[in-house]
Homo-oligomer: A and B are copies of this chain.
Amino acid sequence: MHLTLQQLRIFEAVARNLSFTRASEELYLTQPAISIQVKRLEENAGHPLFEQVGKKLFLTGAGEEMLKACRDVLGRLDDLDNALQDQHQQVRGPLTISAVTTSKYFMPHLLGPFLREYPEVEPRLNVTNRAKVLVRLKDNMDDLVIMGQVPEGLDLSYHPFINNSLVVVAAPDHPLARESQPIALERMTQERFLIREEGSGTRSAVDRLFAAQGLRINPYMELGSEEAIKQGAMAGIGVSVISSLSFRLEMTAGLLAVLNVEGFPLIRPWHCVYPKGKRLSRTGQVFQEFLLSRGAELLGASHFSV
């Protein structure tokens, strides 16, 4: 036999009232029910917990120890109940997100308003390349993952929330920058392309677009970051395909030009993703709903819409 939580509740009521009968009234049980439960608890403890002198009830030393433990345990379980209730109702606590590099241009514009609305959320945004994001996804290291292309072969739950427009950019003085007629894809194969590493979502999408017409781009230089690619395009080293989310400042400053190429802008949705086996926390669920319902609106431009 072991002690049970019901025994602890009963013992605590008796100890607080110093009366079996009062405790039975409080707990809506009969007095023999109280008596037998206290007896069982005493057997389990190996000590008497009460002493009776005349008609008065007292706690023994062991009873004092038991009462302290009781209050600690029952109080801790109350706290647990409250914490679990919070998890149904409150939007608070940690929210861990991994996002593919390009999303660093827009994720803060989504996360900021969300955190203002839910100030008790503790965000952790990890922006890294796609390969690392995939590892974290497989290892269930995040609440949500923000990525364009969702990998196949994994059991995932994914929802598109905004559209990503990929465009071809070049230096403003590039010859094709003034071309008003759409530039054939075939023409573009003659251009030097500045590109990201193998495995990049953007790279895959562009390769597929050209492959559909039996073409392939001319990779001139592989660069490790979006910034390096922009700098190279601005310097006239070559052209590139990048997300329209990521170079607004450079456009406004007249440092980059968008080329009018057939098939562009290449619209790819951004997804929020998590493993199907995952039980998303309430905070994670609310953030996902927030992305789906208000992401496009917050980012403002119509080409962000799903």
Most central of A54, A61, A139, A277 by chain B CB within 10 Å: A61
A residues 24-64 touching B (CB-CB < 8 Å): 45-48, 51-54, 56, 58, 60-62
Q: Are B76 and A80 in contact (CB under 8 A)?
A: no
Please tell me which one of the listed residues B2, B80, B281 contacts residue A61 in the complex, with CB atoms under 8 A apart. B281
Q: For residue A76, which residues in chain B have a CB less than 8 angstroms away from its CB?
A: 69, 72-73, 76
Q: Which residues of A from 65 to 89 have beta carbons under 8 Å from B? A: 65-66, 69, 72-73, 76-77, 79-80, 83-84, 87-88
* A: number of interface residues (CB 8 Å): 42
A79 to B76, CA, bound (A): 15
Q: How far is the CA of A2 from the CA of B4 in the complex (A)?
A: 11
Given contacts A61-B93, A73-B77, contact A51 B87 (CB under 8 A): no
Question: Taking the nearest CB of chain B, how far is it from the CB of A161, in angstroms?
Answer: 22
A45 touches B84 (CB 8 A): yes
Interchain CB contact (< 8 A) of A47 among B77, B84, B139: B84
Q: When chains A and B are docked, how far (Å) is the Cα of A286 from the Cα of B79?
A: 41
Give the docked Cα–Cα distance between A2 and B5 (Å): 9
Which residues of A are at the interface with B, using a C-beta cutoff of 8 A? 2-6, 45-48, 51-54, 56, 58, 60-62, 65-66, 69, 72-73, 76-77, 79-80, 83-84, 87-88, 93-94, 138-140, 155, 275, 277-279, 281
A60: B residues at CB distance < 8 A? 279, 281
User: Given A53-B278, A278-B51, are A69 and B80 also a contact pair (CB < 8 Å)?
Assistant: yes
Interface pair A65/B84, CB less than 8 Å apart:
yes
> CA–CA, A45 to B87, complex, Å?
11
Cα A54 to Cα B220 in complex, Å, equals 40
A80 to B41, CA, bound (A): 13
